Chains A and B, each alone.
Chain A
Amino acid sequence: DGGITQSPKYLFRKEGQNVTLSCEQNLNHDAMYWYRQDPGQGLRLIYYSQIVNDFQKGDIAEGYSVSREKKESFPLTVTSAQKNPTAFYLCASSPSRTGVGNTEAFFGQGTRLTVV
């Protein structure tokens, strides 16, 4: 089955710890994204990547880091510098054809991170 997989589904972190959220896709998509969603709110872009070994900051990148060493993988690390990390994190991927408009995004099922 083609798709995008996030793991784990639920994650608990102690204050001061770094945690890494996994995102894997087998859709052969160039672009991948990380979003954060707080209760009752929309999605805010953390980081995105158009191609392997390249990524850009989104609107709320502070306290987060990413890597894109392989096309199919885009892990997100929530560092201890992120002051309010409890949220629902969504990963997405899309074909990357800037200007053509073929940018439908496919989403994973999300990881719910709670700081305890």
Chain B
Amino acid sequence: SQQGEEDPQALSIQEGENATMNCSYKTSINNLQWYRQNSGRGLVHLILIRSNEREKHSGRLRVTLDTSKKSSSLLITASRAADTASYFCATDAAGGGNKLTFGTGTQLKVEL
């Protein structure tokens, strides 16, 4: 079963705009992570936010976590064509035995 559900499924923006993706999950978590996947490749870890954190930054990435709503958002600022990829959230469920469960992903297309 999918723990996380991303929204929107697909997003198309112009270069320079900001992109926001949302993730909702079902159970209590130890942490939530965001990954990026270029077409036909493996996933690359972007950022991890722990359950006791509310916001985290890494370069042009900003992640928020609201455990009361069981939701997270990923903001990519000043997007570039090279940001075109699929983005997935993954949760490490509390008591889940260190098992990472991935969402369905958001396909981001950044156009010149």
What is the 8 Å Cβ interface bit string for chain A, positions 95-107, against chain B (1 contact, 0 not)? 0111101011111
**Interface membership of A108, Cβ < 8 A:** yes
Partner of A110, one of B42, B44, B98: B42
Q: Is the CB of B1 within 8 A of A94?
A: no
Does residue A1 face the partner (Cβ distance < 8 Å to B)? no
Give bound CA distance, A45 to B102, whole Å.
8
Give chain A residues whose Cβ lies under 8 Å from the Cβ of B102.
Answer: 35, 42-45
B78 at the interface (CB under 8 A from A): no
9 contacts between A and B (CB under 8 A): A44-B102, A92-B100, A98-B30, A103-B30, A103-B31, A103-B48, A105-B33, A105-B43, A109-B41
Q: Which chain A residues lie closer than 8 Å to B104 at the CB level? A: 41-42
User: Chain A residues in contact with chain B, CB under 8 A?
Assistant: 6, 31, 33, 35, 40-45, 48, 50, 56, 58-59, 88, 90, 92, 94, 96-99, 101, 103-110, 112
Partner of B101, one of A45, A97, A99: A45
Report which residue of A33, A58, A98 has the largest number of chain B beta carbons within 10 angstroms of its beta carbon. Answer: A98
Q: Are B42 and A99 in contact (CB under 8 A)?
A: no
The 8 Å CB contact of B48, one of A43, A90, A98, A104, is A104
Chain B, range 11-68, C-beta contacts under 8 Å to A = 30-31, 33, 35, 40-45, 48, 50-51
